[in-house]
Amino acid sequence: MAGKPKLHYTKGRGKMESIRWLLAAAGVEFEEEFIETKEDLEKLRNDGVLLFQQVPMVEMDGMRMVQTRAILSYIAAKYNLYGKDLKERAWIDMYVEGTTDLMGMIMYLPFQPADTKEKNLALIIERATTRYFPVYEKALKDHGQDYLVGNKLSWADVHLLEAILMAEECKPDVLSAFPLLQAFKGRISNIPTIKKFLQPGSQRKPPTDEKFVAVVRKIFNI
What is the domain partition of the chain in residue ranges? 4-77+196-210, 84-190
Class of domain 4-77+196-210: alpha beta
Each residue of 58-83: pLDDT tens digit? 999 999 999 999 999 999 999 999 99
Each residue of 98-144: pLDDT tens digit? 999 999 999 999 999 888 988 999 999 999 999 999 999 999 999 99
Q: What value does the mean pLDDT take over residues 1-8?
A: 84
Mean per-residue pLDDT over the chain, rounded: 95
Is it the case that residue 1 has pLDDT exceeding 60?
A: no
Q: How far apart are CA 49 and CA 59, in angstroms?
A: 10
Query: How many separate helices (H) and strands (E) can be counted in the chain?
Result: 10, 4
Three-class DSSP category at 103: helix
Q: What is the CATH number of domain 84-190?
A: 1.20.1050.10
What is the band of 90 on the pLDDT scale with cuts at 50, 70, 90? very high
Give, for 193, the enclosing helix (H) or strand (E): helix 192-197
Q: How far apart are CA 64 and CA 7, in angstroms?
A: 10
State the sign of the Cα–Cα–Cα–Cα dihedral 129, 135, 137, 138.
Answer: positive
Question: What is the 3 state secondary structure string of 127-152?
Answer: HHHHHHHHHHHHHHHHHCCCCCCCCC
Q: Which spans in the chain are helix H?
A: 17-25, 38-46, 68-78, 86-108, 114-127, 133-143, 155-170, 179-189, 192-197, 210-220
What global pTM score does this model have?
A: 0.95
